[in-house]
Amino acid sequence: MSEKLWNGRFSEGTDKLVERFTASISYDRRLYAWDIEGSIAHCSMLADTGVITPDEAAELVRGLTQVRREIEAGEFIYDDSLEDIHMHVESRLLAIVGKAAQKLHTGRSRNDQVALDIRMFLRAETLGIIAALRRLREMVVSLAEAHLGAVMPGYTHLQRAQPVLLSHHLMAYYEMFTRDGERFGDALKRINVLPLGAAALAGTTYPIDRDNTARRLHFPRVSENSMDTVGDRDFALEFTAAASICMMHFSRLSEELILWSSAEFGFVEIADAFTTGSSIMPQKKNPDVCELVRGKTGRVYGDLMALLTLMKSLPMAYNRDMQEDKEPLFDAVDTLKMTLEVYTRMLPNITFKIDAMARATTTGFLDATDMADYLATRGMPFREAHHVVGRAVGAALARGRELHDLSLSELKAFSGLIEEDIFSFLSVRQMVDRRKSHGGTATDTVRSAMMNARRALIAESDDGSGVGD
Ligand code: ARG
């Protein structure tokens, strides 16, 4: 239907099916604002360097601004025959400003243009994600602060291991989400590089000024090798890898909340607004949000695999395969953003049943390690102490009791080193608070971890370091 901008050498029109097959406009239209902003910067640079006249540049800017207005007003007409967003904007520009539009593409190619659009899109999204992660981390610290003192079993192999503070458990997620923020900040360094000026693959004969364009578009640096520039999607891979790791953290948290909200654990209750019912079983209250986050994690991994596979056999430099980068990338961005949003809303709507958690610390021999420590601090070699307590555990199990249910004389049968003070030594509070090693679960240690987290969050909001370079 529309006249192609590249059809000079063609004598036949494109097959309709091929048009549909090659078009990316249904999804890359999402990049319109970046495409237009990039074009405005490009033509302003062309005027600064004398490649086009200031009047021509003014015409182009006027036309591009009108195209943006039309798109935002929903008046813009999309058509598969124009392939992608770049062609759509340029062809509409031609209709608005006439011949001057033909100068816009001077010293540029769609290959560096599309790289620019994706980089600008991803830069904005990454900044938003880092900020959202910061809000989530704040929420996690608030929960940890609000529950300081509450105890629960800590697990290894999903078997009760040693008592820990609920706040300590929650702060483990603070660490994960902090690393995620750092990873996105690091990816941002390589996203935030101007590709424009690489042209099709070899650079351009026009006297362009890439630093000028970079300044206009707030890129701290310009890319080096022009062939690498149009053939590079590492930055998108890094983003999606960081998104995959972040989703993996959300998936682990989701898994715990699903387990904890089961009758078997009974450690949390998720508010009605964040759960759903069953169409057949009236008693059900299902943690669907958590389950879906766990499920959507697989989808983001899929996006990463799609991108890695897309790139793995491409010869230099640009190849049309790379048009397939957008849908996985958009999907990873959208899925992660939704997950961040829904989790930040859901977390304060979770009730931790601290009595049930505390009760759970009293069974399952969470004091066995400490009893061995007790003997070891009284002179018994740790290996021997481990063995003695193992026998005590076996004997208690046989009687259907816990270590701390045994009487002093029963305990003494295992070692004469045991005295009355064993009972306070094995109290959950003392067991927790003795673990004062850096990063341990003692109340004082966790309190200072939370204070450090608060300080880090404040510093990030003050200097903007939480939102990248
Ligand atoms: N729609 C294309 C993409 O997303 C733009 C670049 C196309 N370049 C080309 N020479 N056909 O990758």
Tens-place pLDDT, residues 99-143: 989 999 999 999 999 999 999 999 999 999 999 999 999 999 999
Digit-coded pLDDT (tens) for 288-334: 999 999 999 999 999 999 999 999 999 999 999 999 999 999 999 99
Does pLDDT of 404 surpass 80? yes
Per-residue pLDDT averaged across 163-185, rounded?
Answer: 98
Please tell me the distance between residue 319's alpha carbon and the centre of ligand 1 in angstroms. Answer: 8
State if pTM tops 0.85.
Answer: yes
To the query of whether residue 223 is one of the catalytic residues in this protein, the response is no
Whole-number pLDDT of residue 465: 56
Q: How far apart are CA 463 and CA 279, in angstroms?
A: 50
More confident residue, 243 or 273: 243
Whole-number pLDDT of residue 138: 98
* 311 C-beta closer than 6 A to ligand 1: no
Whole-number pLDDT of residue 464: 62
To test the pocket of ligand 1, the residue of 320, 321, 327 to mutate (highest count of ligand atoms within 8 Å of its CB) is 320
* 113 C-beta closer than 6 A to ligand 1: no
Please tell me the distance between residue 323's alpha carbon and the centre of ligand 1 in angstroms. Answer: 6
Domains and CATH numbers, the chain: 7-106 (1.10.275.10), 111-360+450-463 (1.20.200.10), 368-425 (1.10.40.30)
Local confidence band at 469 (pLDDT 50, 70, 90 cut-offs): very low
Digit-coded pLDDT (tens) for 329-360: 999 999 999 999 999 999 999 999 999 999 99
* 322 C-beta closer than 6 A to ligand 1: yes
* 114 C-beta closer than 6 A to ligand 1: yes
Digit-coded pLDDT (tens) for 69-98: 999 999 999 999 999 999 999 999 999 999
Per-residue pLDDT averaged across 145-164, rounded?
Answer: 97
Does pLDDT of 1 surpass 50? no
